[in-house]
Every structure is written in C-alpha cells, then in structure tokens.
C-alpha cells in the first residue's frame, strides 16, 4: 500500500483530466451539430455570453473578486468594434481586435483604481466605474445615444470570407468561443492560475510566501476584462448592433447570475449557466418585465438549494471537478 501511495494523486489527476476532456468534446460537439436543429443566431448569442461568463468566472471563481461592473468591458468593446467597422471601415478581424484592445485598456485603468480594495468596496468601485462608462456611452456623440450603433457591417474576414453568410459567421463565433475557452482553461491550470487560487483561499498566506498579490490580481482583472471585451465585440458583429443594454448595470447582474447558476469556480459551469439564462430569456420573452422576477427567483433558489451550481453539483456527485 505504501509503495502505491505516491501514484494516487497522479492517477486521480489523470482521471479528472480525462473527465474534463470528455466534457470539452461533448460541449464542442454540441455546438458543431446543434445548428442543424437550433437557430444559429441563437447559438451564437449563447456562445458570446458563455465566453463572457467564463471571463467573469476567471475573476470571481479563481481570484475571489466580485465585480459588479463587468458590463463596461463587454459593452464598450461592442461599441468600439461597431464604430470601427461602420465608421472607419475596419475589416471584421481588425474591428474585433480593436474592441478587445479597448476593453483591455479600460481594464488596466479600472483595475489600477479598484484592485487595492477588497470585498464590497471592490464591488462598489467597479459598479461606480461601470456607471460612469454607461453615462459616457449615453452622452458621447459617436455612440448613437439611446439608439446605439445600428446596421454594423459584418464585412469579409481577411478580405476573403463573407460574414453575411450565417454559417461563416457561426464558424467565426465558434472559433472565438473555443479559443477563448481553451485560453481560460490554460490560465486556470497554469502556475499563474495556482497562485490565483492561493490568493483566493488565503491572501495573507500568499503575501507571506513572497507573491506580489496586487500584481497577480491586476493581471487576472485585465485578462478577464479583455476576454469579456472579446465576447462583446463578437456579439456586436453577430447582431450588427451596439446598444446601451450591453453596458448597463443589469448586464453585470446577468453575468453574475449565469456564473452562479452554472457553478462558481468551475470550468464548464459558466457555459451551462449562460445557456440556461439565455434560453430562459428567449422562451419567456412574452412575459416582459416578469422575466427579471423569474431570474430573481432562480438566483434565490440557486443560493439556497444549489450553492455549487449545476456543474458544481454534478462534479460533486461524481467526485470529479468540472
């Protein structure tokens, strides 16, 4: 028994990796075949919000920082992408890159202002900064005010692939989603990700071990903002629209709900949570404002009965983190 003991963690790690690989293949396979039966634009919306939720989960799930202002990165990148594509004539790949870079720059600025705060103070500062961005988008002459930026041209990817074709657009969104998801997976399982988890569990101990905690938190914040911007920029091309809805504080609340429903601190949880919430919004749209009430009920139920979220509960049941 003693001679086999050192191999147990390795065997368990291999088993967890195998389960995660199976889950990834199932997720990717679903999005490959689903357009044959489900409206592709709906699936593209799910993938955009799934990436947004995964980006948010990187911050709250693995660093323990609750941001109430992540919509500013999602929405601002959408505006930057839409404006650069429609007004400046950027190609779609450059427009998305510009939108993502804008979110990254905004993440650096807001991160430097907020990252030294903790708990409710961090959450309130991010909310205040997000509201400033919202009113900027409302008043700025190039954002279109309450009308937003409409009729955003999708253009041709690399000057070759016409993105007005729904299948070409779907392939691009799928590639961006999978690429972003794999990047987050790599970050979480890297030495950098292990330090983030250490900070989440015991920040004081991480400091005593010699880690510059604020630098790690700032980098995680900027990475999360950048990936949220990537999702927002992609969404603006999918729907050919950038609007105030995407930068409103309620959008920040929705991504919190998606993450909690799917499973906080899990790899696949935000994807499932986003799919559940977007599907619910789609099928309950006829209820109007009551959709918000239903979302509130779901939030309360998750907090009280399913604190690990859907994927968290499944992972706990099979004893394999997903």
- Alpha-carbon distance of 149 to 311, in angstroms, equals 37
pLDDT at 131: 93
- Alpha-carbon distance of 118 to 131, in angstroms, equals 19
Q: List C-alpha distances in Å: 18 to 22, 24, 181, 189.
A: 6, 10, 17, 14
Q: What residues in the chain have per-residue pLDDT under 50?
A: 1-3, 8
Instruction: Give the tokens for residue 81.
Output: 């992408």
pLDDT at 146: 85
- Alpha-carbon distance of 299 to 294, in angstroms, equals 9
Q: Which of 103, 134, 98, 128 is nearest to 113 (CA)?
A: 128
pLDDT at 10: 59
User: What confidence tens digit (pLDDT) does each residue in 84-113 have?
Assistant: 999 998 999 999 999 999 999 999 999 999
- Alpha-carbon distance of 87 to 280, in angstroms, equals 35
Q: Which helix (H) or strand (E) holds 162?
A: strand 161-162
pLDDT at 9: 55
pLDDT at 12: 57
Q: List C-alpha distances in Å: 286 to 237, 279, 283.
A: 26, 13, 8
Q: How many CB atoms are located within 10 Å of the residue 268 CB?
A: 25
Q: Which of 213, 187, 218, 183 is nearest to 198 (CA)?
A: 213
């Amino acid at each position: 028994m003693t001679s086999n003991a050192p191999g147990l963690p390795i065997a368990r790690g291999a088993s967890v990796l195998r389960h995660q690989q199976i889950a990834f293949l199932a997720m990717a396979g679903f999005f490959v075949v689903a357009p044959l039966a489900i409206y592709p634009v709906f699936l593209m919306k799910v993938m955009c919000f799934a990436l947004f939720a995964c980006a948010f989960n990187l911050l709250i799930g693995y660093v323990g920082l609750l941001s109430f202002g992540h919509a500013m990165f999602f929405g601002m990148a959408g505006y930057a992408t839409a404006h650069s594509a429609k007004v400046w004539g950027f190609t779609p790949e450059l427009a998305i890159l510009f939108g993502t870079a804008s979110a990254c720059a905004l993440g650096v600025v807001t991160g430097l202002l907020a990252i030294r705060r903790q708990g409710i103070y961090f959450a309130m500062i991010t909310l205040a900064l997000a509201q400033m961005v919202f009113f900027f988008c409302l008043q700025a002459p190039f954002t279109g005010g309450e009308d937003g930026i409409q009729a955003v041209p999708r253009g041709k990817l690399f000057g070759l692939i016409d993105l007005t074709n729904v299948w070409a657009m779907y392939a691009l969104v799928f590639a961006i989603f999978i690429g972003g998801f794999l990047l987050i997976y790599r970050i979480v399982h890297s030495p950098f990700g292990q330090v983030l988890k250490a900070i989440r569990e015991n920040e004081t101990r991480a400091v005593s071990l010699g880690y510059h905690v604020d630098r790690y938190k700032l980098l995680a914040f900027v990475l999360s903002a950048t990936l949220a911007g990537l999702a927002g920029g992609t969404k603006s091309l999918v729907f050919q629209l950038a609007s105030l809805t995407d930068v409103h504080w309620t959008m920040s609340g929705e991504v919190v709900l998606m993450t909690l429903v799917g499973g906080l601190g899990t790899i696949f949880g935000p994807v499932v949570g986003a799919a559940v919430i977007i599907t619910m919004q789609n099928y309950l749209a006829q209820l109007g404002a009551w959709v918000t009430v239903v979302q509130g009920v779901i939030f309360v139920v998750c907090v009280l009965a399913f604190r690990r979220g859907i994927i968290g509960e499944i992972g706990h049941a099979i004893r394999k983190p997903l």
